[in-house]
């Protein structure tokens, strides 16, 4: 099943080129398991979901560690019927097709609790869109229940949920939302915005 993200990084700095180019090197440890293509708008990252979110985390943390106010915007997708399967994308592991939502919520909360601490605080807003699924609201509500029960829940917002905390836990939560909710063989997207070092954080 095809899975990938279009990712754009926005450092609020006169040295934005240096921050972006320096952060891209954080993808190097993941390159053997990902297909990465960069153009003048975004970076396409294609590969297994677990590696995908680790790579996005490392990219963003590398930029945020400069102390610059940084924003990452990403559209993350799996199972798109318009994309050909890519051998680099492996199936989602550890989830049976008929796993009840309650069990998935519990497993996701535990995964976030055990996420690595990377020492960079971030805030994030995320929206989940299960496409082509008959019970899509059940999946959305299950994902929201997971996020509310997790250690990174901040508050609900119109059209999205706000998360805050260490980048390790926040990106783990995004990965759990992406892999544990929605049909295993259906199309699902996440709309994600992550921010760090904002001078106007509230």
pLDDT per residue as tens digits for the range 101-152: 999 999 999 999 999 999 999 999 999 999 875 678 889 999 999 999 999 9
Instruction: Give the pLDDT score at 173.
Output: 98
Q: What is the 3-state secondary structure (H, E, C) of the chain?
A: CCEEEEEEEEECCCCHHHHHHHHHHHHHHHHHHCEEEECCCCEEEECCHHHHHHHHHHHHHHHHCCCCCEEEEEEEEECCCCCCCCCCCCCCCCCCCCCCHHHHHHHHHHHHHCCCCCCCEEEEEEEEEEECCCCHHHHHHHHHHHHHHCCCEEEEECCEEEEEEEHHHHHHHHHHHHHHCCCCCCEEEEEEEEEECCCCCC
The 10s digit of each residue's pLDDT in 12-58 is 999 999 999 999 999 999 999 999 998 888 999 999 988 999 999 99
Options 1.10.645.10, 3.30.70.930, 3.40.50.720, 3.40.50.80; CATH for 3-196 is 3.30.70.930
The 10s digit of each residue's pLDDT in 151-199 is 999 999 999 999 999 999 999 999 999 999 988 878 999 999 999 999 9
pTM > 0.85: yes
Spell out the residues 6+ positions from residue 102 whose beta carbon is closer than 8 angstroms to its own: none
Name the residue ranges covered by the structural domains of the chain: 3-196
């Amino acid at each position: 099943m095809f899975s990938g993200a279009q990712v754009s990084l926005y450092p609020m700095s006169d040295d934005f080129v240096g921050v972006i180019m320096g952060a891209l090197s954080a993808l190097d440890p993941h390159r053997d398991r990902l297909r990465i293509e960069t153009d003048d708008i975004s970076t396409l990252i294609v590969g297994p979901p677990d590696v995908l979110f680790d790579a996005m985390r490392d990219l963003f943390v590398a930029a945020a560690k400069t102390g610059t106010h940084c924003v990452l915007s990403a559209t993350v997708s799996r199972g798109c019927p318009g994309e050909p399967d890519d051998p680099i994308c492996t199936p989602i592991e550890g989830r049976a097709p008929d796993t009840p939502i309650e069990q998935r919520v519990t497993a996701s909360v535990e995964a976030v609790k055990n996420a690595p601490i990377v020492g960079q605080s971030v805030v994030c807003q995320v929206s989940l869109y299960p496409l082509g699924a008959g019970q899509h609201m059940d999946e959305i509500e299950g994902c929201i229940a997971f996020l509310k029960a997790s250690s990174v829940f901040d508050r609900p917002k119109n059209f999205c949920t706000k998360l805050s905390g260490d980048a390790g836990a926040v990106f783990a939560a995004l990965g759990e939302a992406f892999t544990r909710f929605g049909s295993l063989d259906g199309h699902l997207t996440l709309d994600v915005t992550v921010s760090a070092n904002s001078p106007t954080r509230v």
